[in-house]
Structure 1
């Protein structure tokens, strides 16, 4: 696959002449946070992160995301953290959309370019720094790892999307494909973060209804997404949250490819008691 593109928010502030009307929507079964929402006024900050701000896309909350949080991080030159993750049970996935990020783990530096992906297991003691002369922007997905007696915790790894061949969905002639950073048969992992690509005209031809919760960030292109009972237009820079069992389908109308970064929780028994 060539010509990869990754949308990254730049912040700023809307003009006083801008109309209030936008595509943002929050329902019981899904939410859409359009790219126009990601302005300076809605950024957050974190303890022990220097020269860094972030947009929080989802967080565990009653009536909203239950299994994960997702941030878009913006780290200025020289910024970063020696104590990035305060939760010892948390696993993380990083995906770089703009700039160059250096992650240090076990004394080794891993330089991540756009398209770079990192899986960071709980208690691995990673640190992060922007050692370039330009801002770096990346997604950070966090989840409380669900330990299973008899299964090892997966190891950390670093890879770039460019080095992974997408897996086509059967019967689609490659028009619908998934770039998988983790082997789906590896049950040590309790979450998958992947990239889904649709060529113009490709569709999800039925209303998927399943137990996995989703976070979808549109990296490239545009499409019409079916969410519960609504058709919603989305484009690069938009974010969607889908609760478990929310019916979902998609039509990629073009003119270019439609691609998104996808989170889902997998490979664990359903909880029968409150968390």
Structure 2
């Protein structure tokens, strides 16, 4: 299978383009189409040099509650010696384009497209672009939720190609998931996997569950059920799905439909402040 990873390049829309894109935002889900990722929607990040970012999701009332997700573009000579500002923050980095040098726990790692790195909560790490072309990666951040008697996970580095897709039961390979951590490992309170649908593949029922999702489409296109709406999405689009938002999808076109999927897992639901009446 040929893997490709859509990478935004910024710029500005053509002046003749219609203003109404495919963007949607409501209480159940959001869709940020790739055309929104222009120069006028970038953010600059403290502690980063020669770097710009598109913030796709952040903890916000009525929006993402458990995570932040960004697409980060690092220019030649750019990067950060102290990327994560939250001492309890954990991260997944997934490289879309270019090459980056990651240093964590005193070890250096060269990340290229398809490179995947999990940075443990509180880990000390740095990231640099030492080459002469820009490098772009997806950055998923979450504040780690500790559980009694369970140690925090360690950092690790791998690649998309080192994690063969695992076929979902009774799908004949049309629907598969590349899992980067063991689902039974309770040290992890988030999973960031890659889901692959071959042409004709589908989720044949409306999943409705407690996990919140952030979805970045890496390759191909598909049609996604978001709550009560069927929405066409393509590579470079981002979707946020709140907990319990019904969801299903099917692949469209002739290429595999692949996306990077975040979900929060393996923790008790919070019950809020205790009743004192």
Normalised-by-shorter TM-score class: over 0.9
Q: Return the offset for 1:149.
A: 1.8
**1:141-197 CA deviation, whole Å, 9 max, x = no partner?**
000100112111100000001011111100001110000011101110000000000
1:225-240 to 2 correspondences below 5 Å: 225-240=224-239
Q: What do you get for the CA RMSD once the two structures are aligned?
A: 1.0
* Distance across 2 between alignment mates of 1:106 and 1:165: 27
Secondary structure of the corresponding residue to residue 36 of structure 1: helix
Aligned residue number for residue 201 of structure 1: 200
Separation in 2, partners of 1:239, 1:164: 23
| Partner in structure 2 of residue 119 of structure 1 | 118
Normalising by structure 1, we get a TM-score of 0.98
C-alpha contact (below 8 Å) 1:116/1:160 kept by paired residues = yes
Task: Judge which range, 19-28 or 190-199, deviates more.
Answer: 19-28
Residue 66 of structure 2 aligns with which residue? 67
Which residue is 1:177 aligned to? 176
Structure 1 residues 1-275: aligned runs within 5 Å? 2-273=1-272
SS in 2 for 1:252: strand
* Equivalent-residue separation in structure 2 for 1:93 and 1:260 (angstroms): 15
Q: Distance in 2 between matches of 1:117 and 1:15?
A: 34
User: Distance in 1 between the 2:161 and 2:124 partners?
Assistant: 27
Cα distance in structure 2, aligned partners of 1:205 and 1:38 = 31
CA contact (8 A) 1:227 1:247 kept: yes
The answer to whether the 8 A contact 1:8-1:137 is kept is yes
State how far apart, in whole Å, the 2-side matches of 1:241 and 1:235 are: 15
For 2:225 and 2:137, locate their aligned partners in 1 and report how far apart those are by CA, in whole Å.
27
Please, which runs of 5 or more residues in structure 1 have no aligned partner?
none
Match of 2:260, SS?
A: strand
Measure, in 2, the Cα distance between the counterparts of 1:196 and 1:169: 10
CA-to-aligned-CA distance 1:190-229 (integer Å, 9 cap, x gap): 0000000000011100000000000000000011101001
**What secondary structure sits across from 1:48 in the alignment?**
coil
Q: Moved runs in structure 1, 4+ residues, more than 2 A?
A: none
Q: Given that residues 199 and 254 in structure 1 are in contact (C-alpha distance below 8 angstroms), is that contact kept between their aligned partners in structure 2?
A: no
How many equivalent residue pairs?
A: 274
CA deviation vs aligned residue, 1:62-120 (integer Å, no higher than 9, x gap): 00000000000000011000111110001010000101011111221111111110000
Q: Larger deviation: 162-171 or 49-58?
A: 162-171
Aligned partner of residue 162 in structure 1, secondary structure:
helix
> Deviation at 1:253?
2.2
Contact between 1:99 and 1:134, CA under 8 Å: does it hold in 2?
Answer: yes
Once residues 71 and 185 of structure 2 are traced to their aligned partners in structure 1, the CA distance between those partners, rounded to angstroms, is 27
For the residues of structure 1 that align with 2:163 and 2:205, how far apart are their CA atoms? 27
| Partner SS, residue 102 of structure 1 | strand
Instruction: Give me the TM-score of the superposition, normalised by structure 2.
Output: 0.97
Query: 1:122 & 1:145 partners in 2: Cα distance?
Result: 6
